[in-house]
């Protein structure tokens, strides 16, 4: 056995213990985050049609270590119900919006999901707790690379990250049971609707960044016809395109 392997095996239990200790130090903040999500869900129930979120979604929100997805020095704000900068002009969405958008997808354990706008990888991790496979696209290459490393380190083997233009989706892996877009689009990208399975759902914020966006749920029926429901007024960073 090599010296490096021996050292790793000796340190591994310590690493696990340290990680568990780090998780425990955020237990109170995680509980407060979940309480905020419950409160905001009730307050927006008339707009969203949801007075509560599913137990599976809440369990995923409780499990994913949000403090591992924020910038160094921002960990103390990780569980606050607000967006945070993650670099390159991008943000990690507030926990309530992450939970709501996830719940709106109505995911089943066997589902295959596409996410457009990986960012730091937090939303992909939440989806990874609920679905069979998650494919996520990020147009900012450094963010995509960082997210891929972070998700792998945290054990999210069912999440695949690609750097590219999410407006065109991921044709090679289509169709998808559910699609989520985590950036504001000027209109619904036709490619994403095409890549959605019959019976599937697309959740996407649509509209100009500064004059109001609407969170839409688009459902496709067995015949391929779509219906759209406006859920909530939101504000996201814009969905950018590949200029090449």
Q: Is the dihedral of CA 220, 56, 85, 118 positive or negative?
A: negative
Cα distance between residue 136 and residue 121, in whole Å: 9
Overall size of the chain counted in residues: 244
Cα dihedral 121→102→67→158 (10° resolution): -50
> Which of the following is catalytic: 93, 163, 211, 214?
93
93 is catalytic: yes
Q: Residue 39, CB half-sphere, CA atoms under 13 Å: how many?
A: 8
230 CB contacts (<8 Å, ≥6 apart)? 214, 215, 216
What stretches of 120-225 adopt beta strand conformation (E)? 133-138, 159-163, 176-181, 196-206, 213-220
Enter the DSSP assignment of 184. B
Is residue 119 a contact partner of residue 147, using CB atoms and an 8 Å limit?
yes
End-to-end Cα, the chain, rounded Å = 50
Active-site residues: which are they?
93
């Amino acid at each position: 056995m090599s010296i490096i392997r021996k050292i790793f095996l000796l340190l591994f239990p310590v690493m696990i213990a340290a990680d568990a200790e780090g998780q425990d130090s955020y237990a109170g903040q995680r509980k407060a985050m979940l309480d905020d999500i419950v409160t905001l869900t009730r307050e927006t129930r008339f707009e969203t049609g949801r007075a509560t979120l599913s137990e599976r979604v809440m369990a995923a929100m409780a499990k994913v270590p949000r403090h591992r997805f924020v910038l160094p020095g921002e960990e103390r704000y990780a569980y606050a119900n607000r967006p945070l900068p993650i670099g390159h002009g991008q943000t990690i969405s507030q926990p309530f919006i992450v939970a709501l958008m996830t719940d709106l997808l109505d995911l089943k354990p066997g589902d295959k999901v596409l996410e457009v706008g990986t960012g730091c990888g937090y939303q992909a991790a939440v989806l990874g707790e609920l679905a069979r496979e998650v494919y996520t696209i990020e147009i900012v290459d450094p963010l995509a690379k960082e997210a891929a490393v972070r998700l792998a380190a945290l054990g999210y083997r069912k999440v695949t990250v690609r750097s590219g233009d999410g407006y065109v989706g991921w044709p090679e892996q289509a169709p998808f049971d559910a699609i989520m877009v985590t950036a504001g689009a000027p209109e619904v990208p036709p490619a994403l609707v095409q890549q959605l399975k019959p019976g599937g759902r697309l959740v996407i914020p649509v509209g100009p960044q500064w004059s109001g966006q609407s969170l839409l749920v688009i459902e496709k029926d067995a015949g391929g016809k779509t219906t759209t429901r406006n859920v909530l007024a939101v504000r996201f960073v814009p969905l950018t395109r590949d200029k090449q």
